[in-house]
Amino acid sequence: MHRCADPWPRLGAPGVSASEQRRKGCCERKGKTFTYISTYLYTEYLNFFAESYPIYSRMFQTFKEWFWLERFWLPPTIKWSDLEDHDGLVFVKPSHLYMTIPYAFGLLIIRHFFEKFIATPLAKSFGIKEEVRKKITPNTVLENFFKHSTRQPSQTDIYGLAKKCNLTERQVERWFRSRRNQERPCRMKKFQEACWRFAFYLMITVAGIVFLYDKPWVYDLWEVWNGYPRQPLLPSQYWYYILEMSFYWSLIFSLGSDVKRKDFLAHVIHHLAALSLMSFSWCANYIRSGTLVMIVHDVADIWLESAKMFSYAGWKQTCNTLFLIFSTIFFISRLIIFPFWILYCTLILPLHYLEPFFSYIFLNLQLLVLQALHLYWCYFILKMLRRCLFMKNIQDVRSEDEDEDEDEEEEEEEEEKEEITKGKERDCLKNGLGANRDLIPNGQHGH
């Protein structure tokens, strides 16, 4: 087997001064220090693994050599040695991506304080209150049925459970409704999540514009491939990628505690696909086209999250307006700019410079799948637009995996009416009247 040069950086590589890094477009010293620390830990772990499990270590080394074969990642005639740091220039390395994991946990910490000290007061200023769920009477039979059978029992199930628990059917129905309500996230939590995503997308979009506005390949797509793959890494590109990937890792880590959605699996697949695409484009040095893909996607998400925030706050007219803006930007960015600008750049232009090779094909396959997802989401957006224009109400048909809060409100209204009715009946009985306010003959209260 051909033994390719290892793309992972060597420890102790000569450093570059901060001024020279800025002048020549290299990574910042801080990011590079983190890279060396993470690489050192990775190397120490491999040494320990090799000493403890020599057979598995050799298997892993063989797989690693095969995985990093140059023909999988680079154009013909290009070697990994061509992308080693030289003359003060730094090139992308897979080990740079190690830092996305600790940064993801850092974002989770920032998110916690953001939701507590910014999102929550903002929600309260919009009139969103902390909801206290009404406690239900513990019932082992009903709880087991709820967990192991269904959350929505049929009328036959309700009748059988009522007999078994010595309750009325109405009491069983109310118990299940209250139990479902306990698992529904409150509006405050939904608002906090939307507010955090809005803040991050706004920040990363502004950062992306600042990073890219003076780059020649934004205005001339031919520059995306000029000098590929020997294109040095800029500090702005490093931080743009690292922050974006860290954010998606943080979303994956928080899936268990975030609002449960109907398309939970689709969300997981989307986040993993986004990480896969960004990781692949990083390792193969498709950085310039990768930054264009990211800015095109982030610019629309700001408006979606802001529309959700105002929807949870009950500002329906503002929500509808923001959603219309989001829909317009979505259609322009993902159904016009992405296929006719980004895909043209990655699919057609490289053929003027290079012969087709594996990573070129794999990159474009991923982007075509992404475009198919755009069409899939377009279907749901059109459904919501129809609801917005003709029903004057927007509901994310793919989002929350729970009923609307009206169920709980209806339950409370019904219980209030029931209590009022019972109170009136008691008053009537005390005054010698029937439930229909007819006089009751003396001595016939018990009949």
> Are the C-beta atoms of 89 and 26 separated by less than 8 Å?
yes
pLDDT of 314 higher than 50: yes
Stretch 423-432: mean pLDDT = 49
Please tell me the predicted confidence (pLDDT) of residue 403. 44
Stretch 439-444: mean pLDDT = 44
pLDDT in tens, 139-187: 888 888 888 888 888 888 888 888 888 888 888 888 888 878 777 778 8
pLDDT of 212 higher than 70: yes
Q: Does domain 140-183 have CATH number 3.40.50.1260?
A: no
Q: Range with the lowest mean pLDDT among 60-69, 138-147, 345-354?
A: 60-69
pLDDT of 426 higher than 90: no
Q: Across-strand partners of 89?
A: 86
Which residue in this structure is represented by tokens 């986004």? 274
Percentage of residues in the chain having pLDDT higher than 70? 73
Residues in the chain: 447
Stretch 385-414: mean pLDDT = 55
pLDDT of 402 higher than 80: no
Q: Range with the lowest mean pLDDT among 212-216, 233-237, 262-266, 427-431?
A: 427-431
pLDDT of 413 higher than 80: no
Please tell me the predicted confidence (pLDDT) of residue 80. 86
Going by pLDDT thresholds of 50, 70 and 90, the confidence category of residue 437 is very low
pLDDT of 100 higher than 60: yes
Please tell me the predicted confidence (pLDDT) of residue 7. 39
pLDDT of 417 higher than 90: no
Stretch 242-251: mean pLDDT = 96
C-alpha 280/C-alpha 358 separation (Å) is 12
Average pLDDT, rounded, for the chain = 79
> Are the C-beta atoms of 99 and 31 separated by less than 8 Å?
yes
pLDDT of 435 higher than 50: no
Write down the domain spans for the chain.
18-88, 100-126+187-258+279-391, 140-183, 406-447
Going by pLDDT thresholds of 50, 70 and 90, the confidence category of residue 6 is very low
pLDDT in tens, 266-299: 778 888 889 999 999 999 999 999 999 999 999 9
Task: Dihedral sign for Cα 237, 240, 245, 246, please.
Answer: positive
Q: Range with the lowest mean pLDDT among 203-217, 306-320, 423-437?
A: 423-437
Stretch 333-352: mean pLDDT = 94
Q: Which residues fall within 8 angstroms of residue 97, CB to CB, at 6 or more apart?
A: 242, 245, 279, 282, 283
- Tokens found for residue 233: 């890494």
- Tokens found for residue 89: 């220039």
pLDDT in tens, 31-65: 455 555 655 555 655 565 556 666 666 777 787 78
Secondary-structure percent of the chain, ordered helix, strand, coil, rounded to 5: 70, 0, 30
Stretch 391-402: mean pLDDT = 50
Gap between the terminal Cα atoms of the chain: 97
DSSP string, 167-206: --HHHHHHHHHHHHHHHSPPHHHHHHHHHHHHHHHHHHHH
Going by pLDDT thresholds of 50, 70 and 90, the confidence category of residue 441 is very low
